[in-house]
Amino acid sequence: MFKRWLHREGKEWVREGIITKEQLTRILARNPGPDRRMSWLPILAGILIGLGILSFIASNWEGIPPFLRLLILIGGMTGFYAAGEQCTRQGFPHTGAVLTGLGVVTFGGGMVLVGQMYHLVAFDVRLFILWGTAALISTFLYRHPVLFYLTFVILSAAQWYSTEEFRTFSYGTAMLFFAGLGWEAHRSEHRLHRWFVAAGVVHQSLLWVIGSEEEALWLFPFLMVLYTAGDWWHSRGWRRPLQTVSISAAFLMTLVVYYNPPGESGTFPSLPASLPYLTLTAGFLALSLRAKHRWGRLRESDSWLLFLPFFYLTADGPQWLHQAVYLVVLYAASVGVLLRGSRRGSRFEANWGILLFLVTTVNAYFNLAWDFMPKSLFFLLGGLLLFALNRFLQHRKNTRFSKGGDGR
Amino acid sequence: MNRTRWLTILVLCQVLVLLGTAASYFAVNWWGTEIRLKTEPVDPRDPLYGDYVTLHYKISDVSPDHWKREEPPENTPVHVLLTPKEGYWQVKSVHLNRPDPGKNEVVLKARASRGRSMGRGTSSPEKTLHLEYGLERYYVPEGTGRQFERARAPLTVRVKVAPWGQARIVDVEKKQRNREEPSGWNLTLTGQGASFTELFQSYQRGEQVLIPALMEMVAVPNGPRAQSADPTSSGTKIYG
């Protein structure tokens, strides 16, 4: 990706006389860049082989006596792990990681098959926790992204399964996720890991709220924790994933609140007990502001607009007032992100701000204009409005970034 | 410690987990109490989804009186105390915390929810307490589920319950029609002598046979029991 970009841009630079043709050749030679197709091939091959083995065993499964089935499972699993280690040692880390991953998958599938074979009954996600632990230790041993994402999928699915099937939040799974994957993402060079961890934390928090049958609005304090953590833990590239993910989730939650004014218990969403909620909010706000003050980023405090519980004030009032207040909050937050991106010269943040702004406009438009406008006029005007808004915002962004920016 | 050693430990642990899961099956077999459960007639549409049979037990839907809490059950984990009654095990009580089973009692884990309406066809608001034991699926070898599919009659399921609460299905058998009248009699000849087969064949052809003194003739009722019963012990000796 980078090399292709360099190739394209480099020609422009030569044309504009910034660098000479020889310099471009030397720069390109300096950055051979990993050929991504090479690392995806063994992964694809591994998946195909795994599927082949699985379907072969599945179609002949009934004819094999139980004890032999157990031996096949154990033999297959051990074989995958051994082959994975061998490949990694011989300098094929991608193939090795895929084989180890197949070992992990065989372990999980083996537990399910053995359970089915002997008519065993599960009442919790113990099986998933064992599986996740095996995946996590493999991740620690090889530190390969394939194993990291496999663990991510297993632990996220485990928590979802626990909430969906057993109506309980699995603290064991959550611990493995935070401590295990969090630690791995922290010491890894792969930036994407941290984004996954941040998104996974939101996922787990959401399932906690659902599983423990607490008020949905309790999700906000979890997002505050994530955001504040981003303030304090700004080194090693944690700030951007933590704060982008928490602000995005808070934005979506605020949209929910905008449509559904919180009320007494029984309504959705219902108001959480005010004393603990307000205390937590104040506490995290203070912590966050302290960090911002310390590193001179107090100008970014506007993001807190999304986390502040205005609903305690507006819930009892008329609905139009509640919606007006939350519309202002949504717009202010979007513009805040947009301006911050502009100030920092970050294309990524500017685009993200534009997206939030457009989402807010679409929602406001649907909510306010749907009832009293003929439908065709509604869509026509809506489309024109969005078109104009997008042009205006993109134009502003491009004028701002025409003199550089960080390129993301 | 180097990676290979860690990997060896990791793989060994996983092998132990798989073996342990299989071993728990045998452990339930050795230390478990066997109970017999009766199923309701199987759903006539299609009880066989893929390679398992869906079982609905008599103890799956019980009177809502067993639920003592205010709020309705919502997939709530419960412990169900069972005790035998007329050959089958019935629900005695439903608990949130695991009770100590007395003599002739076992405890099964279940998840409780609101079930179907009690009064059929009426607008009775009372719903049964639906209990799911995780024993509702019986995996059968592919293609052999047909024999259960036609079984509209109740089935008897034998379940082993371990003292630590683990349960598993041992066997699903069709309910024996004990009280049904036998539809006829099977005549069996037992005894010694070279002409036994010959005699039997002429008997089958409907000819009159003379039975030597060393032989005896036994009649057993023609029913499901008769197939497996030992004719000399359970039949009625009419000649000897």
Q: Are residues A47 and A21 in the same domain?
A: no
Whether A209 contacts A216, CB under 8 Å: yes
Q: Are residues A285 and A353 in the same domain?
A: yes
Pairs of CB atoms within 8 A across A/B: 82
Q: Are residues A22 and A55 in the same domain?
A: no
Q: Is residue A38 part of a domain?
A: no
Q: Are residues B88 and B120 in the same domain?
A: yes
Per residue in B60-99, pLDDT (tens digit) is 888 888 887 777 777 788 889 999 888 888 898 888 888 8
Q: Are residues B113 and B191 in the same domain?
A: no
Six-digit token string for B202: 């002429």
Kindly report the nearest CA distance between residue A107 and chain B, in angstroms.
7
d(CA A105, CA A110): 8
Which residues, including other chains, have CB under 8 Å from residue A27's CB and lie 6 or more apart?
A6, A10, A19
Q: Are residues B212 and B109 in the same domain?
A: no
CA-wise closest residue to A137 among B111, B71, B14: B14
Q: Is residue A400 part of a domain?
A: no
- The amino acid present at A340, given as its one-letter code, is R
pLDDT above 90 for A368: no
* Cβ separation A115–B21 shorter than 8 A: yes
Kindly report the nearest CA distance between residue B18 and chain A, in angstroms.
6
Q: Is residue B100 part of a domain?
A: yes
Q: Which residue has the tokens 């132990």?
A: B16
Q: Is residue B83 part of a domain?
A: yes
Q: Are residues A209 and A334 in the same domain?
A: no
Q: Are residues A47 and A98 in the same domain?
A: yes
Q: Are residues B128 and B166 in the same domain?
A: yes
Q: Are residues B52 and B71 in the same domain?
A: yes
**Which of A213, A228, A261 lies at the terminal end of a domain, its last residue?**
A213
Q: Is residue B68 part of a domain?
A: yes
Q: Is residue B23 part of a domain?
A: no
Q: Are residues A246 and A385 in the same domain?
A: yes
What total of structural domains would you count in chain B?
2
Whether A222 contacts A174, CB under 8 Å: no
Contacts of A110 in chain B (CB under 8 A): 18
How confident is residue A405, by pLDDT bands cut at 50, 70 and 90?
A: very low
Could you tell me which residue, B46 or A304, shows the higher pLDDT? A304
Q: Is residue A232 part of a domain?
A: no
Q: Are residues B203 and B149 in the same domain?
A: no
Q: Is residue A196 part of a domain?
A: yes
Q: Is residue B18 part of a domain?
A: no
Kindly report the nearest CA distance between residue A141 and chain B, in angstroms.
6
- The amino acid present at B132, given as its one-letter code, is E
Kindly report the nearest CA distance between residue B142 and chain A, in angstroms.
7
Per residue in A90-115, pLDDT (tens digit) is 888 888 999 999 999 989 888 888 87
Q: Are residues B116 and B214 in the same domain?
A: no
Q: Are residues A245 and A372 in the same domain?
A: yes
Contacts of B25 in chain A (CB under 8 A): 118-120
Q: Is residue A403 part of a domain?
A: no
Question: Does the beta carbon of B93 lie under 8 angstroms from any beta carbon of chain A?
Answer: no
Q: Are residues B194 and B170 in the same domain?
A: no
Question: Does the beta carbon of B178 lie under 8 angstroms from any beta carbon of chain A?
Answer: no
Q: Are residues B42 and B149 in the same domain?
A: yes
Q: Are residues B166 and B87 in the same domain?
A: yes
Q: Which residue has the tokens 């209990």?
A: B131
Q: Are residues A270 and A352 in the same domain?
A: yes
**Which of A85, A119, A153 lies at the terminal end of a domain, its last residue?**
A119
A106 to chain B: nearest residue by CA? Answer: B14
Q: Name the burial class of residue A160, with classes exposed (0-12), middle (13-18) and buried (19+) by CB atoms within 10 angstroms of its CB.
A: buried
Per residue in A54-69, pLDDT (tens digit) is 777 777 776 778 788 8
* Cβ separation A122–B75 shorter than 8 A: no
Most confidently modeled of A11-25, B107-121, B218-232?
A: A11-25
In chain A, what is the greatest distance between 2 CA atoms, to the nearest angstrom? 75
d(CA B232, CA B240): 11
Q: Are residues B36 and B101 in the same domain?
A: yes
Q: Are residues A253 and A368 in the same domain?
A: yes
What total of structural domains would you count in chain A?
4
Interface with chain A: mutation pick from B7, B12, B30, B140, highest number of A CBs within 10 Å: B7
Q: Which of A285-289, A324-328, B49-53 has the lowest mean pLDDT?
A: B49-53
- What are the Cα distances from residue B78, in Å, to A71, A163, B147? 36, 17, 33
- Residue A303 is classified by DSSP as G
Q: Are residues A274 and A208 in the same domain?
A: no
Q: Are residues B151 and B43 in the same domain?
A: yes
Q: Is residue A372 part of a domain?
A: yes
Q: Are residues A156 and A292 in the same domain?
A: no
The pLDDT of residue A56 is 75
pTM of the complete model:
0.72
How confident is residue A183, by pLDDT bands cut at 50, 70 and 90?
A: very high
What residues make up the domain containing A195? Answer: 122-213
User: Residues 119..138 of B with a Cβ closer than 8 Å to A: which?
Assistant: 133-135, 138
Contacts of B7 in chain A (CB under 8 A): 81, 85, 141
Could you tell me which residue, A133 or A376, shows the higher pLDDT? A133
Q: Is residue B67 part of a domain?
A: yes
CA-wise closest residue to B39 among B59, B67, B18, B14: B59
The pLDDT of residue A316 is 81
Q: Is residue A221 part of a domain?
A: no
Residues of A with CB under 8 A from a CB of B: 62, 66, 70, 73-74, 77-78, 81-82, 85, 103, 107, 110-111, 114-123, 130, 134, 137-138, 141, 166-168
pLDDT above 80 for B222: no
**Which of B146, B174, B202 lies at the terminal end of a domain, its last residue?**
B174
B11 to chain A: nearest residue by CA? Answer: A78
pLDDT above 90 for A82: yes
What residues make up the domain containing B67? Answer: 32-174
- The amino acid present at A371, given as its one-letter code, is D
Q: How many CB atoms lie within 10 A of CB A175?
A: 12
In chain B, what is the greatest distance between 2 CA atoms, to the nearest angstrom? 89
Q: Is residue A355 part of a domain?
A: yes
d(CA B191, CA B216): 6
